[in-house]
Amino acid sequence: MPSRRDVEHRRVGRRPRDQMDFKRILRAPVFWVLAALVLLLLVFTVGGNGGYTTVTTAQAEKLITDKKVESAVMTTDNVLTLDLKSGQTFSDPAKKISGATKVRAEFVDARAPELVTELKTNLPDGYDDQVQGDSALWTLFISFFPVLLLVGLFWFLMSQAQGGGSRVMQFGKSRAKLASKDTPKVTFADVAGADEAVEELHEIVEFLREPAKFLAVGAKIPKGVLLYGQPGTGKTLLARAVAGEAGVPFYSISGSDFVEMFVGVGASRVRDLFEQAKANAPAIVFVDEIDAVGRHRGAGLGGGHDEREQTLNQLLVEMDGFDVKTNVILIAATNRPDILDPALLRPGRFDRQIAVENPDMIGRHKILQVHGQGKPMAANVDLLAVARRTPGMTGADLANVLNEAALLTARSSKKLIDDEVLDEAIDRVIAGPQKRTRIMSAKERKITAYHEGGHALVAAGMNHLDPVTKVTILPRGRALGYTMVMPVDDKYSTTRNEILDQLAYALGGRVAEEIIFHDPTTGAANDIEKATAMARKMVTEFGMSERVGAIKLGQSQGEPFLGRDMGHQRDYSEQVAAVVDEEVRKLIDSAHDEAWHVVNDNRHILDALVLQLLEKETLNAAELAEIFKDINKRPQRPTWLSSEHRTLSDIPPVLTPAEEAALAGRTNGSGAPSGAAVTPGDPATEGALDARAAEGAGPTERPPTETVEVPEGGRVEP
């Protein structure tokens, strides 16, 4: 049974809601329209009789023949009104009429002569005729009703466009939301994985708190800060953290809120927004998705009065109008900085341009710790291992992973989030939900197993690919199965050999189908698409083709409008396009051949892998490592030369003092003596370098060595 305190809380909490509902009803235009109609109805029903009581025609005739009538009036609307003599009244208990001194009766045209005769007989001088016309009120209503209807319709449309109520006719005012004390505060402690961005924004917060410290050394306040990065990296979260840390008025608005259907509204709202910010300085103005108004001017088709450009012009003027003592900082966020107008990006407007990138492994670990607060985790859960399995994920993706894990835990009626649930949540975020109800035939299931086994086998048989961490033949999303290859550490660049290995890995499934079943399926369509796109980038963007060279071919498609680039022709000839196609085909064929060799050389391993897949359906990294322990890897590729006439140096990379110390004191695993020479590709050397590379010592100086000329038509072997 609820306590009295609970009841009081319910009662207190319900009253404001009722008040809000009542105010919402009063602000609704439909309420006032209905009220006006009811008022008009009352006017025409109550006030239309003029104080006369309605009686029957027979009763009216009796009053006339009894000579109780002082005066009578007959109208053209077949209405007879009678004013009784002084002291005379009319009562009818059946109709609840008592003491009436004025009565009226309606009659038909056939009774009119009879009533006229009675009036002439009993009231020779006391009756009159009246030609009935429209009343003044009705005439006024008919005259002004169309105008009132149009005004009301316009008012209704404006109220709907502006949110109703007091916002009507205030479309030129700023719609920015002011962060109040009741707004949930987000601080820098809630932000993880963006240390550089937080450090830059700390300076902004400190300037707002203590501007004299910076003005004393001649530093000017930064007028604008631009946060750019991929969706989900935490740009809006950083802005909210600045609002929570600064303790100053914080105005938040979306870029699309500036532009509406009326000309000049956006510019007016910009002026009003900055007037409010200046009046409450120091203050912060946050514009989310600024690309809605800051898009490159002149990039559209057609002319006329472009409302978006006018808004941008006003924004530029307001940012230039800041003086030194006006502590107003504009923070903007966008995930498309390439399409912003150059005038918006120059120093003096956006003095800080902060990239909010995808977090690294340490950043992902911190993000998982932040979002894991309040979630019951099992004791054996290692969030660092989860961070290793989620390369490339943004903060929003990681939050989604933990939320999916919590939902799966609740769905299975568990109390703690364990590793199994987290693994399933990662797969759901990457590939989509698992389709348990899809029924596959035995043949198609075996084809899928060989397809995914081909991918995994080729990935394990190449020399520059990341380890295979998972293979499954369970349908998930739009895939019948998938192979997961995850890097051990975060990587920010890719070598040519790694890309060639990725091409072979992408075609591994198709090759397995060709070799085993001699009849490839459509399941490799996405693999072929990805391989072709990567090979074309190698030729046209990365400069990894001998025939084409280090040339960028084509233009990026970052500009969605044609106004700026209209009329531009393709920047390469048809002959070059044919060469590009030939080079792409050459790369794909070479990758196809390498995958074919890996599958043929390790056919017994592929068959063993397929049997395990058909039995267990999903294999993890440890199980795969056991299967691939005896795999025959492909030999190393010869050193690639961009041109046969260019010099190839055989000098290895410089070693830091820490690396040299590590190599001097190591013992080769194969029994090599301490201080063995550095050998390129030696596992012991590579391991020692990787172990001590993070020590951070500077490179040692080496004496210059002689450059060796490559003979014409020759090749220097590694």
Strand pairing class (250-254; 177-178): antiparallel
Name the nearest CA neighbour of 454 among 504, 525, 501. 504
Residues catalogued as catalytic: 452
> What single-letter amino acid sits at 470?
K
With 0-12 CB in 10 A as exposed, 13-18 as middle and 19+ as buried, what is 424? middle
Beta strands in 422-574 (DSSP E): 468-472, 482-485
With 0-12 CB in 10 A as exposed, 13-18 as middle and 19+ as buried, what is 85? middle
SS3 content of the chain, % helix, strand, coil (to 5): 50, 10, 40
Beta bridge partner(s), residue 269? none
142 vs 44: CA distance, rounded Å = 13
Measured N-to-C along each axis, helices 29-45 and 136-162 cross at an angle, to the nearest 10 degrees, of 170
Exposure letters 300-310 (e unless 16+ CB within 10 A, then b): beeeeebbbbb
Structure tokens at 211: 């501007």
Residues sharing a CB contact under 8 Å with residue 240, sequence separation 6 or more, in sequence order: 186
Alpha helices in 66-194 (DSSP H): 112-122, 136-162
Residues sharing a CB contact under 8 Å with residue 7, sequence separation 6 or more, in sequence order: none
> What strand order describes the sheet that includes 283-288?
177-178, 250-254, 283-288, 328-334, 224-228, 352-355
Mapped onto helix, strand or coil, the DSSP state of residue 214 is helix
10 vs 6: CA distance, rounded Å = 6
Q: What is the 3-state secondary structure (H, E, C) of 699-710?
A: CCCCCCCCCCCC
> What strand order describes the sheet that includes 618-620?
482-485, 468-472, 618-620
Name the nearest CA neighbour of 225 among 309, 122, 334. 334
